[in-house]
Amino acid sequence: MKQPAVKFLILALCLATSGALTAAEPAVNPPEGFEPLFNGQDLTGWHGMPHFDPRKLEAMSEEERQAKIDEWTADAKEHWSVENGELVNDGHGAYLTTDREFTDYELLIDYKTVPKADSGIYLKETPQVQIWDFTEEGGKWKIGADKGSGGLWNNSPGAPGKDPSVLADKPFGEWNSFRIVQVGARTSIWLNGEQVVDHAIMENYWDRNSPLFRSGSIQLQTHGGEIRWKNIYLREIGSEEANEILASHGDSGFESVFNGKDLTGWQGATENYEVVDGAIRCKAGHGGTLYTDKKYANFVARVEFKLPPGGNNGLAIRYPGDGNPAYQGMTELQVLDSEHPKYAKLDPRQYHGSAYGIIAAHRGYLRPVGEWNFQEVTVKGSTIRVELNGNVILDGDLSEVTEYMANSPHPGKDLEEGYFGFAGHNDPVEFRNVEIRTLD
């Protein structure tokens, strides 16, 4: 994963050594709760970076990285200027890129462009929220310009969000306004007050097999035609609000399986779990599997969980009611403080979100220890999909797996029905807002 703190330090040094102006008092008035990313006077807080794989930049030595950023920033200053409180690009040069990186946020930004222009906004250094000439004269109807701006154009063909749902562009010469809400890879976009993308997964252009980067800079693309920007404001979204946003989307039909007061509706190791402040918590030093009274075949489960340092638990999937859920059940989906030093040498199939010993999940998407995480699990036939904090970290078919950790058999892997539960491992891991929607 990228390292925001290290990168921020490097970029700050870059600006200091490349002649950046001292930050002036912002001549802007952000809405309540927002901060300005552009101060209306100069390029303070921004550097140059073209269409470039951020993983390659991260892999460079500090000296190589610094030299490359200096080169890009010098190029950007040749093509970007400030006029009357507006950022102006002549259609060329490196993209203007925020020094800071952001994870979950709400972004407000206005733009005005010219006929035949083609531009966009990179989120987490990934292309892009599309901006272009929506008229037939623009010459790009064959690739979707007739649908207008605001779509996640680099998503796969037919993927949700690739095309905007509404043509909301204003005529040339008028200012357009974006509102973008980014939670994990989940992206919602409004253009001129019309929602054009609704909670779609933004794909990782740089690696289609991996989730979008956990965090990254915002980039303003240059693409051959003049474009102007103003009123660039951002509000970072905390974990509690992010969870509310994630829980508020998706299909209806979820039923709560935990009343927030006691373990009514649950069975198994009930003596090893307790209810504290509206959450089910495994008692420290205890374990065992706590599972629902009801069995499920195909379903979607939503749950929030909070890990203590080094915490270890799991989600029991199609558990038969006895034995180890990782082996006798369809699987155990790990719930683990994956970045704790004591887990540094695990098999990749043991880290958080993995189908234990069977399929490895992508790492790096847990929130800091002590914060609540939001996870959605979809079980359909032999397939399992795990979305953590808005990022799909596992999407696999257990029936296709032929190699297992330590060559251990998984006799329950092909179960078609079973209980849902928590597989405790002596740590006080907490769960709340447990909901299930059946798919049968």
| Distance from C-alpha of 27 to C-alpha of 409, rounded to nearest angstrom | 65
Confidence (pLDDT) at 2:
52
Using the structure block, give the residue that is written with the tokens 């010993």. 357
pLDDT band at residue 117 under the 50/70/90 scheme: confident
Rounded to an integer, what distance in angstroms lies between the CA atom of residue 130 and that of residue 152?
6
Q: Distance between CA 8 and CA 16 in Å, rounded?
A: 12
- Crossing angle of helices 4-17 and 62-79, in 10° steps, is 60
H, E, C per residue of the chain: CCCHHHHHHHHHHHHHHCCCCCCCCCCCCCCCCCEECCCCCCCCCEEEECCCCHHHHHHCCHHHHHHHHHHHHHHHHHHEEEECCEEEECCCCCEEEECCCECCEEEEEEEEECCCCEEEEEECCEEEEEEECCCHHHCCHHHCHHHCCCCECCCCCCCCCCCCCCCCCCCCCCCEEEEEEEECCEEEEEECCEEEEEEEECCCCCCCCCCCCCCECCEECCCCCCEEEEEEEEEECCHHHHHHHHHCCCCCCCEECCCCCCCCCEEECHHHEEEECCEEEECCCCEEEEEEEEEECCEEEEEEEECCCCCEEEEEEEECCCCCCCCCCCEEEEEECCCCHHHCCCCHHHCCCCECCCECCCCCCCCCCCCEEEEEEEEECCEEEEEECCEEEEEEEHHHCCCCHHHCCCCCCCCCCEEEEEEEECCCCEEEEEEEEECC
What's the whole-number mean pLDDT along residues 227-252?
Answer: 95
Residue 110: per-residue pLDDT:
98
Q: Is the pLDDT of residue 24 over 60?
A: no
Indicate whether 6 pLDDT > 70. Answer: no
Instruction: Identify whether the C-beta of residue 385 lies closer than 8 Å to the C-beta of residue 247.
Output: no
Q: Which residues pair with 378 in a beta bridge?
A: 300, 385
Our measurement of the distance from residue 403's CA atom to the centroid of its chain's CA atoms, rounded to an integer in Å, reads 30
Side-by-side strand order, sheet with 266-268: 266-268, 287-296, 418-425, 312-319, 331-336
Asked if residue 73 lies in contact with residue 47, where contact means CB atoms within 8 angstroms, the answer is: yes
CATH number of 4-237: 2.60.120.560
Tokens representing 382 are 């032999």
pLDDT at 290: 98
Share of the chain above pLDDT 90, in %: 91
Q: Is the pLDDT of residue 229 over 80?
A: yes
Asked if the domains at 4-237 and 251-438 fall in one CATH topology, the answer is yes
pLDDT: which is higher, 20 or 239: 239
Please check the confidence at residue 101 and state whether its pLDDT lies above 80: yes
The identity of residue 172, as a single letter, is: F
pLDDT band at 415 (very low <50, low <70, confident <90, very high): very high
CATH of 251-438, one of 1.20.120.1200, 2.40.50.140, 1.20.1050.10, 2.60.120.560: 2.60.120.560
pLDDT at 15 over 70: no
pLDDT digits (tens, 9 = 90+) for 156-183: 999 999 999 999 999 988 999 999 999 9
What are the tens digits of pLDDT across the range 187-219? 999 999 999 999 999 999 999 999 999 999 999
Percent of the chain with pLDDT strictly greater than 70 = 94
pLDDT at residue number 253:
92
Place of tokens 């950790």: 405
pLDDT-based confidence at 440, cuts 50/70/90? Answer: confident
Average pLDDT of the residues in 35-49: 97
Whether the predicted pLDDT of 21 surpasses 80: no
Q: Give the whole-angstrom CA distance, residue 21 versus residue 384.
A: 52
- Write down the domain spans for the chain: 4-237, 251-438
